[in-house]
């Protein structure tokens, strides 16, 4: 088998897609919810909220990628999770007494829907299946963050970088042009922030990946040349 064609059966730890949290609603109620969701296009690096912000809505990611991250007192950035469609974020706004405890920012042009807090509460108060689905999403999010923290604590930078490259690229199949899966428009600093490392270290490891044939770089694109070896390195 071509090493670029290995299929992935589960989403890697650094990216999360929640699915449709309103899927369990009856069709008429779901249509009513959809009519009240306000969608808008946002550019890359758009800030949705910051720590201590009081929100009154949750966000639904339909297209693009959004990252949740924290800043240290020294100004270092740690990306907690990268969200992919469909995903929800800003769930802290469901409680009037809670405030956001992280930053949320678009990583690419995005299509985002906003749902007022009161409307989400009404939905969660009615069909138990919807509330259970929301709990499953939050539990999955917590599990993903715990696994990422374990990666930072126990895995080397090459292992973590292999994991995030697999997360960010579409490794399910080679595209129609026959090119290998690719990661586009992420700087070494952004990759370092995703894996809890330094830009200089990531630059060094990327150079090693190139020398050993794991990746190929053309302009701002990283092509994954050997999916099987990257999976082995990532420990998956």
Confidence of residue 7 (pLDDT cuts 50, 70, 90): very low
Which pLDDT value is given to residue 5? 39
Q: Which two tokens stand for residue 101?
A: 């405890």
Which pLDDT value is given to residue 10? 45
Which pLDDT value is given to residue 178? 65
Per-residue pLDDT tens over the stretch 156-205: 999 999 999 998 886 554 555 567 888 887 889 999 999 999 999 999 99
Cα distance between residue 38 and residue 10, in whole Å: 31
Q: Among 4-18, 50-64, 110-124, 197-211, where is mean pLDDT lowest?
A: 4-18
Q: Is 108 exposed, middle or buried (0-12, 13-18, 19+ CB in 10 A)?
A: middle
What angle, 0 to 180 degrees and rounded to 10, lies between the N-to-C axes of helices 227-234 and 157-168? 130
Neighbouring C-alpha atoms within 13 Å toward the C-beta of 231: 17
Which pLDDT value is given to residue 177? 56
Which pLDDT value is given to residue 128? 78
Cα distance between residue 115 and residue 95, in whole Å: 14
Which pLDDT value is given to residue 236? 57
Cα distance between residue 44 and residue 139, in whole Å: 28
pTM exceeds cut of 0.75:
yes
Instruction: Kindly state the average pLDDT of the residues 113-136.
Output: 82
Confidence of residue 2 (pLDDT cuts 50, 70, 90): very low
**Does position 232 have pLDDT exceeding 80, yes or no?**
yes
Cα-based distances in Å from 115 to 13, 22, 100, 118: 27, 12, 16, 9
């Amino acid at each position: 088998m071509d090493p670029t064609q290995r299929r992935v059966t589960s989403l890697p730890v650094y990216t999360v897609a929640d699915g449709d949290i309103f899927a369990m609603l009856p069709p008429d109620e779901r249509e009513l919810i959809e009519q009240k969701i306000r969608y808008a296009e946002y550019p890359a690096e758009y800030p949705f909220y910051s720590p201590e912000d009081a929100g009154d809505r949750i966000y639904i990611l339909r297209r693009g990628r959004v990252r949740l991250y924290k800043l240290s007192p020294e100004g270092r950035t740690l990306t907690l999770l990268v969200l992919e469609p469909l995903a929800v974020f800003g769930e802290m706004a469901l409680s009037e007494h809670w405030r956001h405890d992280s930053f949320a920012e678009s990583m690419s042009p995005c299509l985002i829907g906003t749902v007022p807090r009161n409307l989400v509460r009404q939905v969660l108060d009615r069909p138990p299946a919807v509330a259970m689905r929301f709990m499953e999403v939050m539990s999955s999010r917590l599990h993903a963050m715990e696994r990422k923290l374990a990666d930072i604590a126990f895995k080397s930078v090459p292992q973590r970088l292999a994991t995030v490259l697999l997360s960010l690229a579409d490794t399910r199949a080679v595209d129609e042009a026959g090119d290998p899966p690719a990661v586009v428009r992420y700087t070494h600093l952004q990759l370092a922030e995703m894996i809890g490392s330094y830009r200089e270290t990531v630059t060094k490891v990327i150079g090693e990946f190139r020398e050993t044939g794991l990746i190929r770089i053309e302009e701002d694109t990283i092509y994954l040349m050997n999916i099987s070896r990257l999976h082995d390195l990532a420990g998956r």
